[in-house]
C-alpha cells in the first residue's frame, strides 16, 4: 500500500506483476530501459572497425557480445556455426568471464572450438568500452541466451541497424515486436539457429536498417527520463 508506482521495463513484465502480486493495475506502469542512442548514430567504418578488432576479413561475421557464461549461449552459437552450410561465415565472441567466478566456461568454449575444427572461424575478443566498434564490424548480432529479461544488446544492435536473431523467450520477442524487427528461435536449439542464420545471410529474410534504428528509438534514454519525470510529477501534484 505504500508503493505509489511499480515500474516495469516491458509489457510482459507488467503482466507478470499483475499475475503474481496484488498491486492495483493503475499503479503499474511501463518505463523502458533507456539506451544512449547517440553512441550508435555515427558508427565507425566497418573496415576500420574490423581492423580495430583484428578481424581482417571481408567474409560475413556473426557477433555475440556478453560475459562468458552458460546463460549467454556462446557454446550454442559455436555449435550452430558448425552446422552452417557455408563454411566462410565467421564468428566473433566479445566478452570475458564473470569476475571472481573462474573461467571454466571459457575453457569449454575453447575446447568446443578445437573439437569442432573451428579455430580459423571463431574469434574471441576481450570486452571493450567502445562497443559501437563491435556492432559496426558485425553483419548479424545473435542473442543466444536461454532467457533475457531485457536484452540491452538487442536494443543496441537495432540502434546500429544490424539484424538480430534472438531466442524466443524473456523480453527479446517484445523488443523485436515478435519477429517484425528480427528473427526468433527456440532456445537451446543449434539447428534452428543455424537455419535462421542461413536465412539472414542469404537474404531470404531482410530487415531495413533504418526501420531497425527507428524501433530502437522507443528506448532512447532522453524520452525515458522525460517519462519518469512526468510520472513523478503526477504523483507529487
Residue 105's pLDDT is 96
pLDDT band at 100 (very low <50, low <70, confident <90, very high): confident
Tell me: pLDDT of 237 over 80: no
Q: Highest mean pLDDT: which of 55-59, 101-105, 112-116?
A: 112-116
What is the reported pLDDT for 236?
73
pLDDT at 115: 97
pLDDT given for residue 57 in this prediction? 82
Q: What confidence tens digit (pLDDT) does each residue in 177-211 have?
A: 999 999 999 999 999 999 999 999 998 999 999 99
Q: What local confidence, expressed as pLDDT, does residue 99 receive?
A: 85
**With pLDDT > 90 as the criterion, what percentage of the chain qualifies?**
89
Which residues does residue 71 pair with via DSSP β-bridges, in sequence order?
none
Mean pLDDT of 130-159: 95
Q: What is the mean pLDDT of residues 91-113?
A: 94
What pLDDT does residue 1 have?
81
The pLDDT, as a whole number, for residue 235 is 72
Amino acid at each position: 500500500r505504500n508503493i505509489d508506482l511499480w515500474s516495469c521495463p516491458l509489457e510482459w513484465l507488467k503482466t507478470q506483476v499483475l499475475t503474481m502480486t496484488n498491486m492495483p493495475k493503475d499503479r503499474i506502469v511501463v518505463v523502458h530501459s533507456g539506451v544512449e542512442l547517440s553512441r550508435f548514430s555515427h558508427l565507425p567504418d566497418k573496415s576500420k572497425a574490423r581492423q580495430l578488432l583484428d578481424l581482417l576479413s571481408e567474409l560475413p561475421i556473426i557477433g555475440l557480445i556478453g560475459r562468458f557464461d552458460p546463460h549467454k549461449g556462446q557454446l550454442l552459437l559455436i555449435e550452430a556455426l558448425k552446422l552452417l552450410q557455408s563454411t566462410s561465415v565467421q564468428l566473433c565472441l566479445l566478452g570475458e568471464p564473470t569476475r571472481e567466478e573462474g573461467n571454466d566456461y571459457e575453457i569449454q568454449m575453447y575446447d568446443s572450438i578445437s573439437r569442432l575444427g573451428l579455430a580459423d572461424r571463431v574469434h574471441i575478443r576481450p570486452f571493450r568500452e567502445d562497443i559501437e566498434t563491435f556492432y559496426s564490424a558485425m553483419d548479424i548480432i545473435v542473442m543466444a541466451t536461454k532467457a533475457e529479461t531485457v536484452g540491452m544488446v538487442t536494443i543496441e544492435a537495432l540502434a546500429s541497424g544490424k539484424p538480430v536473431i534472438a531466442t524466443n523467450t524473456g523480453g527479446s520477442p517484445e523488443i523485436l515486436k515478435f519477429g517484425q524487427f528480427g528473427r526468433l528461435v527456440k532456445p537451446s536449439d543449434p539447428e534452428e539457429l543455424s537455419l535462421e542464420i542461413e536465412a539472414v545471410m542469404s537474404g531470404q529474410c531482410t530487415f531495413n536498417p533504418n526501420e531497425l534504428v527507428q524501433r530502437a528509438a522507443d528506448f532512447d534514454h532522453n524520452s525515458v527520463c522525460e517519462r519518469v519525470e512526468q510520472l513523478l510529477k503526477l504523483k507529487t501534484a
